[in-house]
Amino acid sequence: MQTTQLGRTGLQITRLGAGLAEIGLSQTEDPVARAGQVLGAALDAGINFLDTAPCYGISEELIGKTVAHRRDDYVLATKCGHVVGDWQGEEWTRATLEHSIDRSLRLMQTDHIDLLQLHSCAVDTLEKGEVIDVLQQARDAGKVRFLGYSGDNAAARWAVDSGHFDTLQTSFNLVDQRALTTGLLATAKAKGMGIIVKRPIANGAWGATQAPSPYSAEYFRRAEAMRADGQVSGAPIDRILLAMAFTFAHPEVDTAIVGTQNTAHMLSNIDMIVRRPHIDPWALEDLHGRFAARGKDWTQQI
């Protein structure tokens, strides 16, 4: 699978990463077996970037139980900031972040986190500076290699402008183009930040007959509005391939994370990326134009 350098971190990561929210929140009878199948298949097929978070159910625990013995095969990214587990503190405090970091290391059975990201805190939290201090101290202690911010809109802009972070994880897809139109992606790239795109296929909303989930309802509404202008000439027929091709058509994107608890879906996504999804320039321009015409008030989805 094609790899790229994640900004100034120097980390070589695959263009497609595995997001672990769905695995961690799975209600299957044997989540360990399911996670082992999906993650094993992903690693075997070449994916080397795993992105999780303490609040993604038991995802960190599942990493520890299924692929910790393959630690050299993947770059590990997680997040912090929220109250998790048996912790009784308040979110975005020093004590809460320190507890979260140590808990993540223990659950994932590793001695270091390659990329630790603040998980969508607001601008006022960033401005206070305490959360950034905690991340920097964790890096200095060897628990963390690089620091990132995961979030959108004004907080993402603050994080990029601050110069404190090595990476930005933010929402970007064919119905959520604000990161492009506001120059957020371009500014982050110019500063040498690695760019990780979340929701690259718009939660499967484009071309769906109904919202795939309550979580994707807004994306489905946007997709229906943009599709009202007719077929996108020159676009891939497969709706997931179209969404993938749109996201990867933008050179600012280093990697895009897609989550699934289905091994077949994981392998299908990998196959798309291996074949390097293509979208004709005029189709790309058409999608940019449809968003510009209809999405003036559409902010990034958090």
Structure tokens, 56: 């993604």
The single residue listed with the structure tokens 């960190």 is 60
Residues of the chain with pLDDT > 90: what percent?
Answer: 95
Round to whole Å and give the CA distance between 169 and 171. Answer: 7
Q: How confident is the model at residue 215 (pLDDT cuts 50, 70, 90)?
A: confident
Query: What pLDDT digit, counting tens, does each position of 194-214 carry?
Result: 999 999 999 999 999 999 888
Query: What pLDDT digit, counting tens, does each position of 110-153 carry?
Result: 999 999 999 999 999 999 999 999 999 999 999 999 999 999 99
List 148's β-bridge partners, or say none. Answer: 117, 167
Q: Give the helix ranges, DSSP H, for 108-163.
A: 123-128, 130-140, 153-162
Residue type, 77: A
Query: What pLDDT digit, counting tens, does each position of 87-112 carry?
Result: 999 999 999 999 999 999 999 999 99
Average per-residue pLDDT in the chain?
A: 96
pLDDT of residue 179: 98
pLDDT of residue 134: 98
The answer to whether 136 and 94 are in contact (CB under 8 A) is no
pLDDT of residue 83: 96
pLDDT of residue 121: 97
Q: What is the pTM of this model?
A: 0.97
- CA nearest to 236, candidates 248, 222, 225: 248
Residues of the chain with pLDDT > 70: what percent?
Answer: 100
Report how far Cα 302 is from the mean position of its chain's Cα atoms: 11
pLDDT of residue 1: 87
| Residue 58: φ, ψ to 5° | -105, 25
The single residue listed with the structure tokens 């802009």 is 157
The answer to whether 178 and 298 are in contact (CB under 8 A) is yes
Query: What pLDDT digit, counting tens, does each position of 70-81 carry?
Result: 999 999 999 999
Structure tokens, 167: 């990476």
Element holding 294 (H helix, E strand) = helix 281-294
CATH code of the domain made up of 3-293: 3.20.20.100
Radius of gyration of the chain (CA): 19
Query: What pLDDT digit, counting tens, does each position of 246-293 carry?
Result: 999 999 999 999 999 999 999 999 999 999 899 999 999 999 999 999
User: Beta strands of the chain (E only): which ranges?
Assistant: 3-5, 12-14, 16-19, 49-51, 75-80, 113-119, 144-150, 167-171, 194-198, 255-259
The single residue listed with the structure tokens 């290391």 is 105
Report how far Cα 67 is from the mean position of its chain's Cα atoms: 20
Q: How confident is the model at residue 26 (pLDDT cuts 50, 70, 90)?
A: confident
Listed by start position, the domains of the chain span 3-293
pLDDT of residue 197: 98
